[in-house]
């Protein structure tokens, strides 16, 4: 009986070990997978998608990280095959300048238009001629 | 003057949207165009003891077509591939399939391929940036990928893009 219980305990322990063999690696895999786009369901990350390709690519990430690759190396591996499109944060380069700078460009443009309108609307101080001043002075006496 | 400005901005916005919405988001530009075809050595679909490598095609203009028996669009493009294969060496990359499904599929629908390689795990397909079967690559004599099409090849694309490119590369 005791031997059986012991065996059960050992079995359970080994099962638990298999489930989270390397929690640190799991964490790295899911962190990286949530930065990469699944190409099959394009609005999902590799971490969210259950498409067969996403599963394969997650396994790729795991294998490569396990083999000692850095996050950067795995990302480069994906970009070399699927292009910048796999990145949820596209890099800043010539073809993406408008993407990154566009909003700020519009902000500056909007600010400029607003400034122009406000200054235009300001009523200029009426200019009084010498004769008007004399007339006003007379009326105020 | 003001009306002119507003209508100009409106027209510009409209043009931007017209172009943007007309783009197909599934057409992801491949970074592999102009790069050497990723190397592989895979067993043949028909005879598992033989292997084929992309190197075996050096010196030839050829087409690599990724297909699977479980993929309905592959059946849709099948006649187009069959037509192309009459003039260009066409190699099939059987993707995440089982031999017992793939071989009967070829028997049923006709086998246009010079040969098909068997990529059961889809590993080589990842190197080729495959994300939706079917996909078609045109590879030049030097082993460089010159064109890639994702999704079923239509007769129009075959006639207007693939055939002229193959003719140009074969000169």
Q: How do strand B41-43 and strand B51-53 relate by DSSP bridges?
A: antiparallel
What does the alpha-carbon distance between residue A82 and residue A39 come to, in Å, rounded to a whole number? 8
Please tell me the distance from the alpha carbon of residue A78 to that of residue A57, in angstroms, as a whole number: 9
Rounded to 5 degrees, φ, ψ at B21 are: -75, -20
ipTM of the shown complex: 0.77
For A53, the closest of B25, B30, B131 (CB atoms) is B131
Whether residue B134 is preceded by a cis peptide bond, meaning omega within 30 degrees of 0, is yes
d(CA B74, CA B109): 11
**Residue in A40, A56, A79 nearest the CB of B31:** A79
The full length of chain B comes to 171
* Residue to substitute from A39, A57, A58, interface B, most B β-carbons within 10 A: A39
Which band of pLDDT confidence, cut at 50, 70 and 90, is reported for residue A133? confident
Q: Which two tokens stand for residue A68?
A: 């000692």
- Cα–Cα dist B78/B70, whole Å: 13
CB contact under 8 A, B126 and A56: yes
A56 neighbourhood in chain B, CB within 8 Å: 121-122, 126
- Looking at the DSSP bridge assignments, the partners of residue B115 are B91
- A45/B158 Cα distance (integer angstroms): 33
Tokens linked to B13: 């916005």
Q: How does residue A18 score in pLDDT terms, banded at 50, 70 and 90?
A: very low
Q: Is the pLDDT of residue B108 over 60?
A: yes
Percent of chain B with pLDDT over 70: 98
Residue of chain A with shortest Cα separation from B31: A83
- Would you place residue A17 in the very low, low, confident or very high pLDDT band (cuts 50, 70, 90)? very low
- Say how far apart CA A88 and CA A49 lie, in whole Å: 14
* Smallest Cα distance from A4 to chain B, Å: 41
The whole-number pLDDT of residue A7 equals 66
Distance CA B78, CA B136 (A): 12
A8-90 CATH fold: Helicase, Ruva Protein; domain 3 (1.10.8)
Confidence band, pLDDT 50/70/90 cuts, at residue A13: low
**CA B171/CA B162 separation, integer angstroms:** 14
The residue ranges of every structural domain in chain A are: 8-90, 92-121
Q: How deeply is B64 buried, as exposed, middle or buried, from its count of CB atoms within 10 A (0-12, 13-18, 19+)?
A: buried
Distance set, CA A11 to CA A6, A14, A23 (Å): 9, 5, 20
From the candidates A78, A81, A90, which should be mutated to test the interface with B, based on the most B CB atoms within 10 A?
Answer: A81
* Dist CA B148 CA A44 (whole Å): 24
Q: Is A82 at the interface with chain B, CB within 8 A?
A: yes
* Residues of chain B positioned with their CB less than 8 A from the CB of A60: 126
- Axis-axis angle for helices A71-82, A23-33 (nearest 10): 40
Contact predicate B71/B99, CB 8 Å: no
A75-79, A137-141, B115-119: lowest mean pLDDT where? A137-141
> Does residue B32 have a pLDDT over 50?
yes
């Amino acid at each position: 009986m005791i031997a059986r219980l012991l065996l059960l305990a050992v079995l359970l322990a080994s099962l638990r070990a298999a489930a989270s063999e390397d929690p640190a690696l799991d964490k790295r895999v899911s962190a990286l997978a949530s930065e990469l786009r699944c190409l099959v369901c394009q609005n999902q990350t590799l971490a969210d998608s259950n498409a067969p390709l996403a599963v394969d690519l997650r396994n790729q990430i795991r294998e490569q990280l396990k083999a000692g690759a850095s996050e950067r190396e795995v990302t480069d591996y994906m970009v070399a095959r699927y292009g910048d499109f796999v990145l949820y944060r596209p890099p800043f380069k010539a073809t993406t300048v408008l993407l990154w700078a566009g909003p700020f460009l519009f902000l500056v443009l909007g600010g400029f238009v607003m400034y122009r309108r406000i200054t235009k609307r300001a009523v200029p101080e009426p200019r009084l001629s010498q004769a008007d001043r004399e007339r006003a002075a007379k009326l105020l006496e | 003057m003001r009306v002119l400005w507003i209508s100009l901005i409106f027209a510009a916005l409209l043009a931007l949207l017209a172009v943007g919405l007309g783009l197909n988001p599934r057409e992801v530009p491949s970074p592999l165009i102009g790069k050497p075809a990723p190397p592989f050595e895979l067993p043949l679909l028909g005879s598992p003891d033989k292997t084929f490598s992309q190197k075996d095609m050096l010196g030839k203009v050829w087409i690599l077509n990724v297909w699977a028996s479980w993929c309905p669009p592959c059946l849709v493009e099948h006649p187009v591939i069959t037509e192309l294969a009459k003039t260009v060496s066409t190699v099939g990359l059987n993707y995440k399939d089982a031999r017992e499904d793939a071989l009967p599929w070829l028997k049923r629908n006709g086998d246009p391929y010079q040969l098909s390689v068997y990529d059961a795990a889809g590993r080589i397909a990842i190197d080729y940036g495959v994300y939706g079967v079917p996909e078609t690559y045109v590879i030049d004599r030097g082993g460089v990928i010159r064109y890639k099409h994702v999704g079923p090849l239509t007769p129009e694309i075959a006639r207007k893009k693939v055939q002229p490119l193959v003719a140009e590369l074969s000169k």
